[in-house]
Every structure is written in structure tokens, then in C-alpha cells.
A and B are shown apart, each in its own frame.
Chain A
Amino acid sequence: MKKELKIPQIKNGTVIDHITAGNAVNVLHILGIPRSSSSTVSVAMNVKSRFGKKDIVKVENRELDPNELNKIALIAPKATINIIRDYEVVKKHKVQIPDEIIGIISCANPTCVSNAKEPIKSRFKVISKDPPRIKCYYCERELEDINKSVI
């Protein structure tokens, strides 16, 4: 049987592969796509792969900075970034959880000062990378469900 691609190959751009199934929308949200770009974006969710289900995002004609993409590592720790030029993968990068997460996750503690109307961004210290565990820089509480707290 002929193997068919769920979403077509792109000529130039960025493919974010191996996103934890169900998290593609959060990934786009964290990266500010499509707000920050007019590129065509394709999303495939719950795609079957050798390691179970995964999500894939393809952004055409835009090369995303791999370091910038590290901020998705918290919700998609196995994601890989492929930079595509003329249908070829020219760069491959595995996301890495940074030591500090700023402005993309909100603290679940309602009385944390980072949830008050103050001119600050939320800030978390990464206390463990595998499994990902983060602690609020302000109130020092550990966040129990990271996925639920994406801003």
C-alpha cells in the first residue's frame, strides 16, 4: 500500500516534529504563530508513529530560531526542529529545556504576585528536566500541571 503523507512536504521553512500528542495548539500559542507570521502553517495531530501518537507543525518559508524554540520543550520535551531548504533537511535540533522559563507559563497560585497587576512577567526556575518540574521564582511553589498553565 502506498504510504501517504498526512500533510504535504514543504519546500522551505521549519518542521516541528515529535510534539507530544495533543500539544500542537499550545506549541503554536507559545511561539505566537500565526500572529507573528503570515506564513502558511499546517498542523497534524495524533499522527501515528513508531513511538505512539505525536503532533507535527510545519511553517512554510520561515526558519524559526532553534534556541527560541527551546521554550516549547516544557510541553513537548521530545520535539525536534527541522530546518528545510529546497525539500532537504539542512539543520536538525532537539529541543532542550532551558534553566528558566519566562513569560509563557502562569503560576497556578492565585495569590502569587505574578498574577497581580504588576509590570512583571511570570518566571519559573526549572528544578528537574526529566520529568519537567518547575518552581515559581516569585512564590516558590511548584507547578503541578504545566500544560494547563500555558498563558
Chain B
Amino acid sequence: MKFKGRDIISIKDFTKKEIDYILDYSKKMLPYAKGEKHLNILKGKVLSILFFEPSTRTRLSFETAMNRLEGRVVGFADPSGTSQKKGESLADTIRMADAYSDAIVIRHPHEGAARLAGEFAKSPVLNAGDGAGRHPTQCLLDLFTIKTEKKKIKNNKIVLLGDLKYGRTVHSIAYALSLYGADLSFVSPSSLKMPNEVINECRSLGVEPKSTSSLEKAIKDADVLYVTRIQRERFPDAEEYNRVVGTYKVDKELLEKGKKDLIVMHPLPRVTEIDPEVDSTPHAVYFKQAFNGVPVRMALLSLVMGGKL
């Protein structure tokens, strides 16, 4: 299986076998990601981290991943101090970063920006989110979290909750979970339903997702509850937003209606959709999920830059 020099743009660029390989490799990275063991397999390598949009977890975990492998990081977290402000094209910025480093991580507001970057860079490009489009490393760390917590992905009952229409992560994860034969349920307000295109993709992979607006019903026999943020700007008025947010609030009372070993995931940041009282319950795995960004990104950086474990 060849990963060296490869771009990580969309989860759809990978076969199930390749995803399995990445997940297994990520597992091997766990003690190094926690700092219990040390590795220097990317020593002497430089990673460009170009963030044209804000981020906390993705940027920090990429930086941590590179540091844990003893590579170096250059880049920016805010494009306001760069030549983009002078009107430089993304293509030219990428050519420059390509000349300075061994791999490029990019987050950009335009969908397809990472694909474009991949065309202009000789070194591998890793997509850290392009607009409302793809976010493959998040998808991989979500799969890794489910696999680690539940030992398998197939046949697990997984509920995707929240803004399923515009949410960046839910479309990729619905596709990837279908690839693994998970049992999917979609719960959302009627105005933020999963697009038909995504549902058809799940069907083409042999999964028939159930759609409902009742969270209580959906979580009864669920193994995983994957929550996403409902964005205020998607609603015409505050009253409607408050009503919807109230309906889909995940709290202790709701979780008592589910299975004992139900896990709650969230790509974060959360606002009000998960009550902080859930944090201390065994259901909450969202902070562990955020940590899993480190071993998964260590695995990806190592694989595309040719580091040997």
C-alpha cells in the first residue's frame, strides 16, 4: 500500500482497505501521541500549516503531531499578515509553501481549495477543511474513535444529530460509516435534513439510513450518538433557533433513555447542544475524540512523508 507523496483531500479518495491501514497505523501511534514513548521519524522534515480560516483543534493537533515526530512546523493561523491580502492567488501561495517544506496542511474557505493545492504542489497536501466541503482527517479520527471505543464499526447503531444539511463533517462520516456497513439514523430539524445526494451515496454502499426528527426514539438502541452544532445563522429568527436547539439538547436525562454503553461524540466546538453535566459521564468521548486527532494525524504525516515506524 503506497501512501508516500500522496495527497489527503477527500475520504472518498481512499478504499476501505487503505482506511483500515491508516486506522491500524494510528493505533500504533497512540503511546507516542501521549508522550509515553518517543519517535523522531520526521526529524529534519518541515511541514507548512496554512490556515486561511480559524481553527483550534485541527491546527493544534497537526502541530502537536508534527512535533511529536520531531519535525518542524512553519505557517500561519490567520491570513491577514500574508500576501493573500495583497491579492496573491492561492496557487502562488502553495507553490511557495511547496518550495519551503516537505508537506502542506491547508484549511481554506473555498470548497475544492485543497484539491487545487494538490495540483500545484509536488509535496503531499493534507486537507484540514475546505469551506463547507471535506474534512478527511476529522472523518478518519471519528472512525478511529468509534473503532477504539466500540472495537468495530460494522453493524453499530450510529445516530447523526444536528445540522445535517450544512455540517462539514456529517456528509463525509455518513459516507465512511456506510462503507463499513454501520446502521445509520439521521436526526435533524426538518430545515436541516441530510441532503438526498448523501442518502443516495449511503444506499449505493448498501446502507438504508433512517431519518427522523425524534431524538428520543433514535437513541433508544443506539451505540453511538454523533452530535453536531446547529448554527444560529441558518435560522431566519432567534425564536425558531431557540426552539430547535432546545429540542435537540443532549443531557443526562436524555441519555438515561439510551443504552448504558452509548457513547456521545462531537467534532467540537460545541455551544449548547451538549449539557456540560454530560462531560463527567462515561458516555462522553468528545474530548478523547479531539485527542485522537493527534495519533491519526501523526499516522498520516508519517505515511505521506515516508516516515517509518
Interface residues of A (CB under 8 A from B): 109, 111-114, 116-120, 136-142
- The minimal Cβ–Cβ distance linking A48 to chain B, given in whole angstroms, is 38
Assembly CA distance A139 to B133 (angstroms): 7
When distances are taken between beta carbons in the complex, the residues of chain B under 8 Å from A136 are: 112
Contact B89 A138 (CB under 8 A): no
Contact B197 A113 (CB under 8 A): no
Assembly CA distance A117 to B88 (angstroms): 9
Contact A140 B134 (CB under 8 A): yes
Contact B112 A112 (CB under 8 A): yes
- The minimal Cβ–Cβ distance linking B204 to chain A, given in whole angstroms, is 11
Interface residues of B (CB under 8 A from A): 10, 12, 89-91, 108-113, 115-116, 119, 130-134, 197
- The minimal Cβ–Cβ distance linking B94 to chain A, given in whole angstroms, is 10
Assembly CA distance A141 to B111 (angstroms): 9
When distances are taken between beta carbons in the complex, the residues of chain A under 8 Å from B10 are: 140
- Given A140-B10, A141-B111, A142-B197: A113 in contact with B134 (beta carbons within 8 A): no
Query: B133's closest neighbor in chain A, by CB?
Result: A139
Complex partner residue of A113 from B12, B90, B132, CB under 8 angstroms: B90
Complex partner residue of B112 from A113, A117, A119, A142, CB under 8 angstroms: A113
- Given A116-B110, A138-B111, A140-B10: A111 in contact with B132 (beta carbons within 8 A): yes
A-B contact pairs, 25 of them (CB 8 A): A111-B109, A112-B111, A112-B112, A113-B90, A113-B111, A113-B112, A113-B116, A113-B130, A116-B90, A117-B89, A118-B89, A119-B91, A120-B91, A120-B119, A136-B112, A138-B112, A138-B116, A139-B112, A139-B133, A140-B10, A140-B12, A140-B111, A140-B133, A141-B111, A142-B197
When distances are taken between beta carbons in the complex, the residues of chain B under 8 Å from A137 are: 112, 115
Closest 5 CB pairs of A and B: A138-B112, A139-B111, A113-B112, A113-B110, A139-B112
Assembly CA distance A142 to B201 (angstroms): 13
Most chain B Cβ neighbours within 10 Å, of A119, A137, A138: A138
- Given A111-B131, A139-B133, A142-B197: A118 in contact with B111 (beta carbons within 8 A): no
Assembly CA distance A119 to B130 (angstroms): 18
- The minimal Cβ–Cβ distance linking B44 to chain A, given in whole angstroms, is 32
Contact B89 A113 (CB under 8 A): no
Query: A119's closest neighbor in chain B, by CB?
Result: B91
When distances are taken between beta carbons in the complex, the residues of chain B under 8 Å from A114 are: 112, 116
- The minimal Cβ–Cβ distance linking B116 to chain A, given in whole angstroms, is 5
When distances are taken between beta carbons in the complex, the residues of chain A under 8 Å from B109 are: 111
- The minimal Cβ–Cβ distance linking B129 to chain A, given in whole angstroms, is 13
Assembly CA distance A114 to B19 (angstroms): 28
When distances are taken between beta carbons in the complex, the residues of chain A under 8 Å from B132 are: 111
Assembly CA distance A118 to B91 (angstroms): 7
Assembly CA distance A141 to B112 (angstroms): 10
Assembly CA distance A111 to B108 (angstroms): 11
- Given A118-B89, A119-B89, A142-B197: A109 in contact with B119 (beta carbons within 8 A): no
- The minimal Cβ–Cβ distance linking A55 to chain B, given in whole angstroms, is 32
Complex partner residue of A111 from B89, B111, B116, CB under 8 angstroms: B111
Query: A135's closest neighbor in chain B, by CB?
Result: B197
Q: List 16 extra interface pairs beyond A111-B132, A112-B110, A140-B12, CB under 8 A.
A: A111-B110, A111-B111, A112-B111, A112-B112, A113-B90, A113-B116, A114-B112, A114-B116, A119-B91, A120-B91, A120-B116, A137-B112, A137-B115, A138-B115, A140-B111, A141-B111
Assembly CA distance A139 to B113 (angstroms): 8
When distances are taken between beta carbons in the complex, the residues of chain B under 8 Å from A116 are: 90, 110
- Given A109-B111, A140-B10, A141-B111: A118 in contact with B134 (beta carbons within 8 A): no
Assembly CA distance A132 to B197 (angstroms): 16
Query: A114's closest neighbor in chain B, by CB?
Result: B112
Assembly CA distance A117 to B87 (angstroms): 9
When distances are taken between beta carbons in the complex, the residues of chain A under 8 Å from B12 are: 140
Assembly CA distance A140 to B132 (angstroms): 11
When distances are taken between beta carbons in the complex, the residues of chain A under 8 Å from B90 are: 113, 116, 118
When distances are taken between beta carbons in the complex, the residues of chain B under 8 Å from A120 are: 91, 116, 119
Contact A113 B113 (CB under 8 A): yes
Query: B109's closest neighbor in chain A, by CB?
Result: A111
- The minimal Cβ–Cβ distance linking A46 to chain B, given in whole angstroms, is 34
